[in-house]
Chain A
Amino acid sequence: MIEIKSLTKDYKNVRALDNVTLTFEENKIYGLLGRNGVGKSTLLNIITDKVFPSQGEVLVDGEKVSNNDEVLGKMFLMNEKNYYPESMKVYEIFNWTNEFYPDFDLVSAFELADKFKLNTKSKVKALSTGYASIFKAIVALCSNTKYILLDEPVLGLDANHRDLLYKVILDRYANNPKTIIISTHLIEEVSSVIEEIVIIHNGKVLLQDSCENVLSSGYTITGKIQDVDEYIDGKDVISTETFGGLKNAYVKGKPQNVPSSLEVSKLDLQKLFIQLTNDKEGI
């Protein structure tokens, strides 16, 4: 279990994280969601002792992370940025990861590289943004550590590769359950993979709940504008959108007495996220 206790991180005049207290339990897939610059990467870097907190502490399986090789060896962070030597080839990095992580699955790493058509003889600096993400995600997933932290794993990936990566994550999780924390902007896509949602906003934890609870906390209602407007009158509406003569309304609570002219479907996670993290920005 990863316990984050009263964590604060200040960068000069900016407070990146503000008294964050969180727990990541074992064998669950978490979605770490938040807008740009809210402190997601900072949080993951502090958890893995790459950056020091200004206040607070991180415990992994009850032990402090700072300068603890044993604890650090239980985690693998796929960083959004590349910190591998750029002149090194992909297969060399696979081999070195195998040296530092005794449970690294070298065979699977090469198999996955084949699946994604990643040339393992390429130098890191020659990889496109998408392939750099694929290569780093493969290294992380094959590390076989107890905790895998993925910071923007689908950055630059096309739809096919994103789909394949989600399948690989789920497949490896099904065969060998572990804690996976996925930090991403692509909320709707990742909602089918994650079990728990953590939303960070302005350096604070805005929401931590199971994906199921969050999605069942509301519903989407679709129909003719007038019918929808009549139905949502007096209800707790998250947001609405209109397409031609049709209207979608995202409503909190359980659907009750829905007229047959309206269609009810699951809540849109992305809409909920936007509503929760909107700072009333104008366009």
Chain B
Amino acid sequence: MRNKTKAVYKYNITTSARPLGIYYFIVLMIIISFAIIALISSGNTHVSGIEFATVIFLLVLALADFRENFEALNQYGLSRKSIYVGKVLAFGSLALAAAFIDRLLVIAVEKITSPMENFLFGSFFTTMYETSFAKLNFWSENLLALLLSFSAYLALLSSGTFISAVFYRSNRIGKIAIAAGIPIFIFVAVPVIGAYIYTSKLAKVFTKLLEISLSTPARASVSFLLGAIIFGVITYPIVMRTTLKGK
């Protein structure tokens, strides 16, 4: 790694470490709180979906990080290429670190709370692909869950960076269109289009594609990795043409 890229990588990791630390502190506090509730009450407590929470956190991190990061590194006299390469490497490390922490948390909390019959703690991905994971031994299960988490996190970081890079480059109308367009697309357009094409041939092709790409943890990992690569590739020319905006 070249010196400048190394410095950019270090800068990205350092500036992301604090929000990541705060996030895991909150996650830990939530798990402990629910475990205490389970201890002092007789009702069942079910906590799951840590990976899903991490997915949301990493997406928000990527969305919020681009402007400040790009402007600061630009101020430090770095080329756009170094800024991009340093960010890709840092986000790769961040996705890996988050996947490791999540897996360790799942294993540790499951182990510690195993004597508590009314406290159930589960992983989002292993619950989602229960039958696939049930066939695997301890090491294979964790390795696959780790790969799945890593690829999903990387895909979200990559898509978040793409959206925020486009947002930064856009004019006021473009910014409004992105800010309003993405939620409208996800929550209105997709269900409407989905309902419309549900019976069509296109729907069958689309459903088949989803089935193939997400049917097993391994396929889902490959699909997420492909998504991360695609977003990473299309973000590069955007970053290379981005100029410092006035404030």
Contact = CB atoms under 8 A, between A and B. Distances in A.
Co-assembled chains A and B: yes
Interface of A: 45, 48-52, 67-69, 72-73, 75-77, 79, 81-85, 96-97, 99-101, 145
B118 to A, nearest CB: 42
Contacts of A73: 4, 77
Interface of B: 2, 4, 7, 10-11, 15, 68, 71-72, 74-82, 240-241, 243-244, 246-247
Contacts of B15: 85
A79 B75 contact: yes
Given A50-B244, A51-B244, A96-B11, A101 B75 contact: no
Given A83-B72, A84-B72, A100 B77 contact: yes
Given A50-B243, A81-B247, 8 more contacts: A51-B243, A68-B79, A69-B4, A69-B82, A73-B77, A77-B77, A85-B68, A100-B78
Contact of B77 (A51, A52, A75): A75
B4 to A, nearest CB: 5
15 contacts: A45-B244, A49-B79, A52-B241, A67-B240, A69-B2, A72-B77, A77-B75, A77-B77, A79-B75, A84-B72, A85-B72, A96-B11, A99-B10, A100-B76, A101-B77
B165 to A, nearest CB: 16
Given A50-B74, A85-B15, A99-B11, A72 B244 contact: no
A51 B74 CA distance: 10
Given A69-B82, A99-B11, A100-B4, A76 B77 contact: yes
Contacts of A83: 71-72, 74-75, 244, 247
B11 to A, nearest CB: 7
A81 B78 contact: no
A143 to B, nearest CB: 8
Contacts of B10: 99
Contacts, number: 60
Contacts of A97: 76
Contact of B79 (A51, A52, A67, A145): A67
A77 B74 CA distance: 10
Nearest to B2: A69
A244 B102 CA distance: 81
A123 B151 CA distance: 36
B61 to A, nearest CB: 14
B64 to A, nearest CB: 12
Contacts of A68: 79
Contacts of B7: 99-100
B5 to A, nearest CB: 9
B contacts with A: majority SS: helix
B76 A96 contact: yes
A94 B81 CA distance: 24
A258 B244 CA distance: 54
Given A50-B244, A99-B10, A100-B7, A72 B78 contact: yes
A51 B81 CA distance: 15
A101 B73 CA distance: 12
Contacts of A69: 2, 4, 78-79, 81-82
B83 to A, nearest CB: 10
Contacts of B243: 45, 50-52
B80 A67 contact: yes
A100 B78 CA distance: 8
Nearest to A86: B68
Nearest to A68: B79
Contacts of A81: 246-247
Contacts of A51: 243-244
A75 B74 CA distance: 12
A48 B72 contact: no
A73 B71 CA distance: 16
Nearest to B5: A69
Nearest to A45: B244
A67 B247 contact: no
Q: Which of B71, B79, B243, B247 has the most CB of A within 10 A?
A: B79
Nearest to A51: B243
Contacts of B2: 69
B77 to A, nearest CB: 4
- The 10 A-B residue pairs with the shortest CB-CB distance, nearest first, are A83-B71, A100-B76, A50-B244, A83-B75, A67-B79, A72-B77, A51-B243, A69-B79, A99-B7, A81-B247
B205 to A, nearest CB: 41
